[in-house]
Structure 1
Amino acid sequence: MSQTAEMNATAPLNVAKRNLRAALKLKLKDVSHNSILSQSSTVFKTLKTLDAYRSAKRISVFLSMPTGEIQTDAIVRDALRAGKDVFIPYLYKNPAAGPGLPARIMDMVRLRDVADYESLQPDKWGIPSIDPATIPERQRVLGDPDIQHSDSTLLDLVLMPGVAFDIEPDNGAVRRLGHGKGFYDYFLFRHRLKATSLGQQEFPALLLGLALSEQFLSPSEGPVPVGPLDQPLNGLVLGNGDIKGPLAAAPLNETD
């Protein structure tokens, strides 16, 4: 397929995604701060009942924007205090940038402890962010071989944000609409390649979305438009305590 034909084939999908993002942006503007905090607390309590979280040793957690999505502060603190290796997103210029490749890509870098997490400064979107000057001394999931042994690091669990979610009726997987930059999709593709190179299973990490109830689409609002590069999730935890997707069938544990 020529580049022009490929662009023509993906144009309707891109339009559908942009339209849904615009609709959700308006919808989420009506969600109060108190509701976001309450739903975030429910997601945290529900997450702690899942064996996928309790047994994970190396997890990545998105750090939240101030509005419009689940707040993950309690999750980060709990995971660090539980002794888990906690990795957070870090965006940087793609050293291999070229035709067909993204200009900026994402890695996951490890937090040292709670004090390290509390030292992060907000970026222009209000998201706590890693100081680039500290990157060389941090363990990274996709980083080059270094003294932190990044070359052998793989994740057990990836906690993911999104704009909208629903369920694929044919297989029950969770469909996710991201913010349109492709950071997670490309990261997961590279993580999968790394796992294969290390002789691990094809999908070494469970993918779990965290979302406000308003971000889960009803049949009349859906479906979430997805393409061949959009990675389905293993599960979704909603702000009302519901668990969607394959992980919904997993047994729950008593909380601490």
Structure 2
Amino acid sequence: MSIVKDESAMASLNAAKQQLRSAMKQKLGAIPHESAISQSSTVFNVLRDFKPYVEARRVSVFLSMPSGEIQTDAIVRHAIDSGKEVFVPYLHRNPLPSPDLPARVMDMVRLRDLADYQSLKPDRWGIPSIDPATVHERQRILGGPDVHHSDQALLDLILVPGVAFDISPETGAIRRLGHGKGFYDYFINRLKAKASSLGMGESPVMLYALALSEQLLRSPSEGSVPVGPFDQRLDGLVLGNGEVITPESVK
């Protein structure tokens, strides 16, 4: 009976998430390109002096779709110019196939330098992407048997995208709705397991989302973000109006 209840609850959760994604797709599609560019510039200017970013040596940055989210090009370039080790998402087939695990998973792969970043080609969604033929030569965070010197590799800061965000009225937690594939949640769970296996406890990585102001649901009338047991909590949210929200700041 409990299995049936669990499956029913998960189906309801997934349906609620999909409904909000559909509503947000329309909302984000109406944002003028000039507004998204302006907000992206504001987020970049905030990050340049933001302590978690300034102090991070190893940073993961999502690479943006052409519209509907914060553009991270300036952030990637600044991080490389600042001498940080910069990692970007790489999607690949799960090396541990199982009916209970996703078929495709995400790793973080290091960019060599600015020229390497500029050489990335857009995928079918317009997102700059790593050439799979070069992955075996690169440092990766999780990796596999072919990985280049990544046994000890962890991250200090992960800058994540999202579709919608809100603040839990009960706990003050910042809740994130992703695109529905679970790439970041599964990656972070595996990252924590790796840190534990290295004797470091749970990974001390900081998790901050970057979002257009319109992506934050500020009142129940705008909707709320449904969360499940595998959804990762954020350390903070940097908005396109320059606002930085943390769980402590909303208590």
Normalised by the size of structure 2, how large is the TM-score? 0.95
Name the CA distance, whole Å, in 1 between partners of 2:9 and 2:175: 20
Amino acid corresponding to residue 29 of structure 1 in structure 2: G
Output one character per residue of 1:120-158: Cα deviation in whole Å (capped at 9) or x when no partner: 000000000000000000000001366732110000000
Partner of 1:241: 242
Query: Does structure 1 residue 205 correspond to structure 2 residue 205?
Result: yes
Relative to structure 2, which stretch is displaced further, 111-120 or 163-172? 163-172
SS in 2 for 1:208: strand
What corresponds to 1:75 in structure 2? 75
* Equivalent residue letter for 2:223: G
Deviation at 1:48, TM superposition (A): 1.5
Task: Specify the alignment match of 1:104 in structure 2.
Answer: 104
Q: Tell me the distance in 1 between the aligned counterparts of 2:154 and 2:3.
A: 34
Q: 2:189 — aligned with what?
A: 189
Deviation at 1:97, TM superposition (A): 1.2
The number of aligned residues is: 249
- Structure 1 regions of 5+ residues with no counterpart? 250-256
- Show the 5 A alignment for 1:153-232: 153-219=153-219, 220-232=221-233
Residues 61 and 72, structure 1, Cα contact 8 Å, conserved in 2: yes
Counterpart of 1:60 in structure 2: which amino acid? Answer: S
Q: What CA deviation, in whole Å up to 9, does each residue of 1:182-229 have, x standing for no partner?
A: 000000000000011111131421000000000000212132100110
Distance across 1 between alignment mates of 2:98 and 2:185: 18
> Percent same amino acid among aligned pairs?
63
CA-CA distance at 1:247 after TM superposition:
7.0
CA distance in 2, matches of 1:147, 1:203: 20
User: Structure 2: which 5+ runs fail to align?
Assistant: none
CA distance in 1, matches of 2:208, 2:145: 28
**For residue 194 of structure 1, what is the amino acid of its counterpart?**
K
Give the TM-score normalised by the residue count of structure 1.
Answer: 0.93
Contact 2:136 2:148 (8 Å CA) reproduced: no
- 1:82 partner letter: S
Q: CA deviation at 1:3?
A: 5.0
In 1, are the aligned partners of 2:138 and 2:147 still within 8 Å (CA)? no
Q: For 1:77 and 1:43, how far apart are their aligned partners in 2?
A: 14
User: What pairs with 1:130-169 in structure 2 (closer than 5 Å)?
Assistant: 130-144=130-144, 148-169=148-169
Query: Could you tell me how far 1:96 is from its partner in structure 2?
Result: 1.1
Mapped to 2, the partners of 1:102 and 1:5 lie a distance apart of 22
Range with greater deviation from structure 2 (215-224 or 106-115): 215-224
Q: Distance in 2 between matches of 1:148 and 1:246?
A: 37
Aligned-residue CA RMSD (Å): 1.6
Q: Cα offset for 1:172? A: 2.3
Task: Write the distance in 1 (CA, Å) between the matches of 2:30 and 2:203.
Answer: 37
TM-superposed CA distance for 1:169, in Å, is 2.6
Q: Distance in 2 between matches of 1:22 and 1:147?
A: 38
